Amino acid sequence: MKELWKLKYSDIKKGLNSGEFTPTDLAQSLISRIEAEDSKIKAFLSWEKESILKAAAESTERRKSGKPLSEFDGIPIGVKDNICIENTITSCASKILENYRSPFHATAIEKLLAKGFVLIPRANMDEFAMGSSTENSAYQVTKNPFDTARIPGGSSGGSAAAVAASFVPVALGSDTGGSVRQPASLCGIYGLKPTYGTVSRYGLVAYASSLDQIGPLSKDIDGIIDVYSVISGKDQRDATSKNIPAFDPSKVKELPWKGLKIGKMKITSEIEPDVAKAYESLLAELESKGAQLIDLDFSLLSNSIPIYYIIATAECSSNLSRFDGIRFGQRKDPSGKLDDLYVTSRSEGFGKEVQRRILLGTFSLSAGYYDAYYGRAQKARVLIKKEYEGYFSKVDLILQPTSPTTAFKVGEKTSDPIQMYKADILTTSVNLAGVPAMSVPIGTDSKGLPIGLQITAPALHEDKIFGFAKMISDWASKVELPETIK
């Protein structure tokens, strides 16, 4: 069988539409790839071979009859385990939802199916999207395809690893504080966190409702643009959905180098030397092409980690209260007493990190502490949003490293939650402000591990991010998997 799994998204789309190969050929190639390699990577919690082949066969028939649902008909897409698919287990990588089958599709899933995408669930994740390494899954630890002794990032680590390992050409993740961008960076692929409200959250199991956003991951920019154009747009079932049409890919145009105003950060001690070198090398190249580099003061954003974790844990405390063994979740009733049912169901169903964040959020919302913590954090969030507005009155785009480090080893930070939280130091402020950002691969460190660049734009200006990403695509093309996994 031809190794179609090696193709990037843009080549797959071209091949399907030209008739070079069929959706069934493609699905069989990817299934063979998953069967051969996922025991090393553990990107998927489970996947149903028969349903994938059935969907691919239906797409093949539509294409043979000349009636494809769209130009995307037959393209496989991985799906993170917190995005609901009808009659499919959606466990959020948690024991408490181990056997939960969703009775409905998420809006993003409905839109993908309407265009003929072939779904490949369930990509592993940190439990309830709480983590930066995919080590908090209740079932397995996903490994980085560039080095299986290292983490892929999180919480969308399964989706990112699946794309990087060529199990799927594109995938859906969710981003609350960097959970699409950080694993995209550590796995050497593209990952977009859209403007808040441009992609419906209906059917995304909530972690922190004012921060969560579904976003695509891909090995090339075309996959990001196409998937975003399909899943974006107003949804009446989501009260936070913006009243805008779906993104129009024709808006994407390369930006002029000359006069382009780029906001940059000063390198701090948290940034690894190899990451700093790659970042500064790119900035120097941009300046040589005529871009104007402008130093921005990120001192206020340095407080984004504590602000983020107060708001996120408060919202998670509220959102996860429904998983009590009665309304949702596995029921553990050892004594027949109501209090014991709640305590046992939740203590056995939730992992340690989820319990930690629920307790932190409950504390910050409690009487006597609400104003001191949650209230102050919300006021500080307004300042961060205004800070971004100030930045974009001076610059067109902001460039930063996505992650201060490349992928760290499995188990390296699990004993120190604070160090793990610092992995998101450069990404959380974007979610607090609600602006769009994307991670783009720009090179590798001395160990061959990927380095990502975070591109941030004003709200609703994903087109600027995409246009700039196309301009620097030569850097991304240099990031390739090592021979051991190719």
Active site residues: 80, 155, 179
For residues 104 and 181, give the distance between their C-alpha atoms in angstroms, rounded to a whole number: 27
Record the tokens describing residue 270, joined without a space.
Answer: 């948290």
For residues 172 and 388, give the distance between their C-alpha atoms in angstroms, rounded to a whole number: 27
DSSP 146: T
Find out whether 171 and 80 touch, Cβ atoms under 8 Å: yes
Find out whether 192 and 173 touch, Cβ atoms under 8 Å: no
Tell me whether the omega of the peptide bond preceding residue 122 falls within 30 degrees of 0, making it cis: yes
Find out whether 224 and 218 touch, Cβ atoms under 8 Å: yes
Q: Between vectors from CA 177 to CA 451 and to CA 115, what angle results, nearest 5°?
A: 85
First-to-final CA distance of the chain: 16
* Burial zone of 448 (CB within 10 Å; 0-12 exposed, 13-18 middle, 19+ buried): middle
Pick from 188, 133, 196: nearest CA to 165: 188
Pick from 260, 242, 255, 12: nearest CA to 117: 12
Record the tokens describing residue 344, joined without a space.
Answer: 């046992």
What residues does 263 pair with on adjacent strands?
A: 294, 398
Alpha helices in 369-412 (DSSP H): 376-391
Phi first, then psi: what are they for 451, rounded to 5°?
Answer: -120, 135
Find out whether 161 and 152 touch, Cβ atoms under 8 Å: yes
What does the DSSP assignment read for 198-234?
SB--TTBPPSSTTT--EEEEESSHHHHHHHHHHHBS-
